[in-house]
Amino acid sequence: MSGLVLAIDGPSGSGKSSSAKAIALRANWSYLDTGALYRAVTYLALDKKVDTEDAVTQLLDKHEITFDTNPAEPKIFLDNKDISEEIRFQRINDSVSQISAMVGVRKILLDMQRKYIAEAPIGIVVEGRDIGTVVAPNAQLKIYLHADITARAERRELEMAEDIGSESIGKSLANRDEIDSTRKISPLTQAADAAVIDSTRLTLQEVTDQIWKWLKQRNLLGLPTIAVIGRPNVGKSTLVNRMIGRREAIVEDTPGVTRDRVKYEAEWNGRRFFLIDTGGWEVKPEGISEKITAGAEAAIAEADLVMFVVDVQVGALDEDQSLVDLLRKSGKKVILVANKIDNAEDEADGYALWNLGLGEPRFVSALHGRGSGDLLDLLIAQLPEVGSEQVDDGFRRVALVGRPNVGKSSLLNVLAGSPRVLVDDAEGTTRDAVDELIEFGGSTWRFIDTAGIRRRAHQASGTDYYASLRTQIALERAEVALVIFDASQILTEQDIRIVSMADEAGKALVIVMNKWDLVDEERQLVLDKEIERQLERYPWAQRVNLSAKTGWHRDRLAPALRTALTNWEKRIPTAKLNAFLGELVGGNPPPVRSGKQPKIKFATQAGTCPPKFVVFATGFLENAYRRFIERRLREEFGFDGTPIEVAVKLKDRDND
């Protein structure tokens, strides 16, 4: 895969095509409707009046099927003839499942689909029935979209090129579901690591908003890029340091200090983006300057926005005008920056830069920070929502945390099947947070091995202090915390504090009792009592007993992680939530406070990761009653492995 892959699976009429096109348009990615490919083959088979596998595959050797992956106007062609409308007739619907079940046809189209995916330059949204399971099993995000048969039939009726009625379409869909889900080759099934959306009562906007949210949460949306361009020694690196808020780029008062183009991640007002610091551009470069200038021009081609920096103290030179001509040819949006304006008197010189023909110059002093905030506001406003620069690979992130020497690194090595990280009996062997991609349990995971978290009294030394900070940062980066205990040792206050850290960070939680090979029956009884007493606040955490040393029960880890993550991302429909709440309050009303009975009006889920609920009431709800609501939410909807938040917002009583 050259770019990011979003895989959307589901039955016909669930909204795959509409949501996939909407996401692809918003992200400026490619789009592939694999169902259209099978429909095109079906159209070809019906047109040539063949129905055997050999005959159909022979037709595919003689005829060319191509798909235009532009989401704004996706089209499918048969021998250069646009058949986008012809494949939407009911006769195609009635036969496509039989054609799709042919092994030879699926093999040919599988190769075709993977070719389109590989050619996508930035990202591609692929929808069908076996994308997450067969076509792109390593897709960074997998969605399984479904809906009830009535809603699907109504949607399909709107897409059809002929009027045949939703009832007839519903029967056709039910028959197709049966064939698709029971065929021996690549049946329609939900991928184990797919996020599920029931679109029955959701609008297209609501579906796409949820998918977009997951893309953002997993850092799968590319960040926009700003190239910082200008002659040597105009203050580009100083300005980059100012904008990223730290001294990263090397700065010296001589030309030519920066040679390579260097990329830095920056953030302003919640928007993340990349800055590319470049070497000085020259009209007639010689020697190493040729490569420096070529690097600057490559940065222009790569960028979503160009920041052209001019030294006001020197003024615009002929070289600057030549660079303006180059920027115009590139077609990129350009912001003109007048640097080294340290006071109001310098602004008069800055106005002369209007002559460059790039619009209003933006006054800054990179050295002193003057005008840098206004410049950043302008840049953020001009940047596209999604850029081409990926910052993550989309794999689920798991942080291994725990006290020193509980077996974090050993477990990582066992899961990887090879010695990826250093293991020693001495405490504190691991100091840095180490990322490793590990494939187990049918999925690829990004594990972050961390240093053991010591008691605060033991963090006096510089090494331990910074190791602890890196561990906390790793926990923030992760989606699920794998908190590891040494089951052979008594649970300590520090063990409980680490669980509390994961809970407070809002991460999905799996507790691993490691070194189970050292636990005898007597220790098991004692351990059960310790867990009941000290972990009473976390009965919802997934728990796995295993031995990193022997690999015993490691196969139970992947299902526990998936359960925790699924519930961490779970959303309850508002109607279903309020139906549950009505029954709850009817049987167990909130306690009277100060002689008044609080009335619960309604509730809504305000967010996910972790799930957050807001209850609207006419009066204060006791903490005990909030915990009661939380407990019943878990019993009703199953939030194993994730913390949930229940907040109460006061709402005025009814006037009547």
Q: Are 141 and 220 in contact (CB under 8 A)?
A: yes
Query: Cβ-count burial of 128 within 10 angstroms (0-12 exposed, 13-18 middle, 19+ buried)?
Result: buried
Q: Give me 612's structure tokens.
A: 């957050």
Name every residue whose Cβ is closer than 8 Å to that of residue 604 and which is 6 or more positions away in sequence: 574, 577, 613, 614, 616
DSSP for 388-439 reads: SB-----PEEEEEE-STTSSHHHHHHHHHTS--S---SSTT---S-EEEEEE
**Percentage of the chain surpassing pLDDT 70?**
88
Could you report the per-residue pLDDT of 36-65, keeping only the tens digit for each? Answer: 999 999 999 999 999 899 999 999 999 999
258 pLDDT more than 50:
no
Q: Are 15 and 110 in contact (CB under 8 A)?
A: no
The confidence score (pLDDT) of residue 653 equals 58
Confidence of residue 434 (pLDDT cuts 50, 70, 90): low
The confidence score (pLDDT) of residue 3 equals 72
Least confident of 3-12, 120-129, 255-264: 255-264
The chain-wide mean pLDDT, for the chain, equals 86
The confidence score (pLDDT) of residue 460 equals 45
Nearest of 54, 41, 211, 233 to residue 141 by alpha carbon = 211
462 pLDDT more than 50:
no
Radius of gyration of the chain (CA): 30
Name the strand (E) or helix (H) holding 604. Answer: strand 600-607
304 pLDDT more than 50:
yes
Helices (DSSP H) in 271-358: which residue ranges?
288-302, 318-330, 344-350
Give CA torsion, residues 260, 266, 272, 273, to 10 deg.
-20
Average of per-residue pLDDT across 337-351: 87
Least confident of 413-422, 484-493, 494-503: 413-422
CA distance 277 to 258: 8
CA distance 327 to 335: 11
**Percentage of the chain surpassing pLDDT 90?**
50
The pairing of strands 195-198 and 141-146 is parallel
Q: Tell me the residue type at 531.
A: I
Could you report the per-residue pLDDT of 495-518, keeping only the tens digit for each? Answer: 898 899 899 989 999 999 999 999
Confidence of residue 418 (pLDDT cuts 50, 70, 90): confident
Query: Cβ-count burial of 137 within 10 angstroms (0-12 exposed, 13-18 middle, 19+ buried)?
Result: middle
Average of per-residue pLDDT across 350-370: 90
Least confident of 168-177, 221-230, 405-414, 448-457: 448-457
The confidence score (pLDDT) of residue 1 equals 38
473 pLDDT more than 90:
no
Q: Give me 265's structure tokens.
A: 């991640």
The confidence score (pLDDT) of residue 451 equals 66
The pairing of strands 443-449 and 434-440 is antiparallel
Q: 């063990």: which residue's tokens?
A: 495
